[in-house]
Amino acid sequence: MTLTHKHMMKFRDREVYFDTPKVMGILNVTPDSFSDGGQFNTVDAAMRQAESMVTAGATFIDVGGESTRPGAKAVSLQEELDRVIPVIESISKCLDVVVSVDTSKAQVMTQAAECGAGLINDVRALSSQGALSAAIHAATNFNVSVCLMHMQGQPQNMQQKPHYEGVVEDVLGFFTQRIQDCTNAGLDYQHILIDPGFGFGKTLDHNYQILKCLQKFKQFDVPVLVGMSRKSMIGDLIQRDVNQRLAGNIATATIAALAGVGIIRVHDVIETMDAIKIVNKLQSI
């Protein structure tokens, strides 16, 4: 199957049509994220950044309270709740945007849904204790959707010699099994998105093999989310520091848009929107 031209998904009371790629703005309310740690870890600063991204054209704002960069340390449940819940609540009340919560903790998923989040974005694909049941509860009671991401290993060790028989086929196989497990447990297929997990337990070549074959991930007939913004797959290749990777960010986002992904998760919303407009024009002729 291929993604339908007007594939629609509900995120709480908002209907999003994936006729063109949508932009997800990254909002890390953490002190230690690899690119913007500490910049938006007050509600006021986070709101200003969220407003800026929505004005620039973001359909989603992804709020994260625990860094998942390679080697990142885990944070306590209460600390993560204290970071993300006030921000999610404020954005949900004040801005016309789908709020996504970037978490693997069941309690954070539940409270985020109660406070207005419309998407659960889980790098561990609902494998943490209680996460699947929390996601099913959120999807059923609040019409929340869920993004399942592929990761080999854990953030603490995922970049220590990642190995695959064939990275594209292995990740596709993971999604076949994980989607089946989640739907068997009661999660509605209509609430599922997938993310191949660029940079999560993958070498430079692994990442670009997936990027080259992104269209294969449309076989599940669910929106595909990708996040490559400012990552080492860009920096290591073009030899640029984390805040000098805009050209690489736009190149990878453009390739993803041409492949027909549903959501592109980025730091640089305005520039990515410009790239998508060009791709949309090209594909409309």
Q: Which residues are catalytic?
A: 231, 265
Contacts with 145 (C-beta within 8 Å, 6 or more apart), sequence order:
9, 10, 11, 118, 119, 120, 139, 191, 192, 193
Q: Is 245 helix (H, G, I), strand (E, B) or coil?
A: coil
Q: What angle do CA 181, 196, 152 make, to 5 degrees?
A: 75
Cα–Cα distance measured from residue 13 to residue 259, given in angstroms and rounded to the nearest whole number: 28
* Cβ–Cβ under 8 Å, residues 24 and 264: yes
Neighbours of 111 (CB within 10 A): 21
Distances (CA, A) of 94 to 89, 98, 137: 9, 11, 25
Cα–Cα distance measured from residue 238 to residue 96, given in angstroms and rounded to the nearest whole number: 36
Give the DSSP H or E segment for 15: strand 14-17
The string of DSSP letters for 134-167 reads HHHHHHHHH--EEEEE--SS-TTTTTSS---SSH
Structure tokens given for 51: 């407003």
